[in-house]
Structure 1
Amino acid sequence: MNDTIARTLRSAARTRGRRVLLVVTFAVGALAAAGLMAGLPPAELTFATIAQQVHLLISVPLPFIGVLLANGLRKAAGGRVLPALAGAVLIAVAAGFAGNAFSVAALAASESTAPDPWAHAGVIAVAGVLVQILAQLVGTGLGLLIERPVWGCLGTIVLPLGAYTLLAPLGAARGWLTPYGAAQEVLAGSAGVAGWAGWTTTALLWGLALNAAGAVLLRRRPVRVAPPAVSSAR
């Protein structure tokens, strides 16, 4: 299992395109933190304000990595899903910690005049990591379900945001049924029991169920056996 996780981590940076995607994912967070520090009025500079936007932006390109990693299982005979998912989650954890670090650095370097700029910082930091994990699991789930990576990557944006838009008439229910709605709730730092229950429900729907369906589909996929080579007699 450890070998599979290690291979997954190496696979995330195997090609130049994937390395660029990793750099872009982390750079988006750093640039967002710097931009918020420079652009927001001092009275609005809080850890919650900065971290929410930083983590939401990181969660846009991060699932692309999950799509590519999971799609590799479709091409490898006998690929093990759980260790591969564990490797993808480790990358998401690193992205979450990076987002927290960018947010801390931006607020510490700012001239915030907010009454309590570090309010709920611990809860928000935990929420940031969990948000990235769920975003990554959306990517791995779609990578397992959709054969072409480009459509899987597009799906990580269109499907969650599309669901969030379509469920607008339901208001607060979007925090229970969509990753974007749930992320907004927990990254605010004051979600409470209802907010975290909503995030848990969303994680079960978009994280667990999506990947379970992908794993079942992968297991039922017929194995393509290459035809035997025909040697010509001389």
Structure 2
Amino acid sequence: MDRTRLALTAVAAVLALPLVTAAQHADRTPYGDRFDRFAAPPAAPVAVRIRGAAVEAYDRATGARRWTYGRRGSRPLALYRAPGHAFALWTDGMVTDTGPRRVRWHRAVPGLGAWLAGRPDRAAGVLQPLDAGARMLAVVTPERVSAFRAADGDLRWLLPAKRGCAFDPARTAHPHGVLLLAQPCGGRDSWSQELAAVDGLGKITPGRTPLGNDLPGEGRPDRGGNRVAQPS
């Protein structure tokens, strides 16, 4: 076989390689990420779970993997699933959102990694939805509540704990679309003063005029805020 034929044979083998590996596609993204996609029926119902050091989406009927997502040097501690979103909290304090085809965004929350270090049980309650459709996600730490827009990870508002107090992520409730947070203050205040009430627009106060959380181009024509009536 002459050199030309050998070269053509080698090229054909290289071109055929993607057909062999089409069942799995790996994307390496920033922060030491590895996102692997696996071939599966697009309409099959999907569930998401933590498995080992990765977040995994799988076919509910067959258990076949749809995608897996891992980060070098970190592992997931908590997961919140919403339509089209898989929010994960990692040991290094990073919060991520993963969709069916890619990792959408990463957000580092100050002090969260140090607070979680050696205490994976503390991850319970850190990720909290702020509305029925999970358009807004709250990340609750003892020092503050950080609210991110699910669509793009934009930080929309912050609520610091009162001086001498700390939020307790494990003690929350969701009555009527409101997130109630325990904020213990060392026994100095009554129990009602140790609660904070928030929703997707921030802390709930009488007559507030929040900015809103629409994506650019989706807000009101006058770009005004959302007026919230005082309680009757």
TM-score under structure 2 length normalisation? 0.27
Structure having greater relative contact order (Cα 8 Å, sep ≥ 6): 1
TM-score under structure 1 length normalisation? 0.27
**Structure whose alpha-carbon radius of gyration is higher:** 2
Q: Higher strand share goes to which structure?
A: 2
Q: Higher helix share goes to which structure?
A: 1
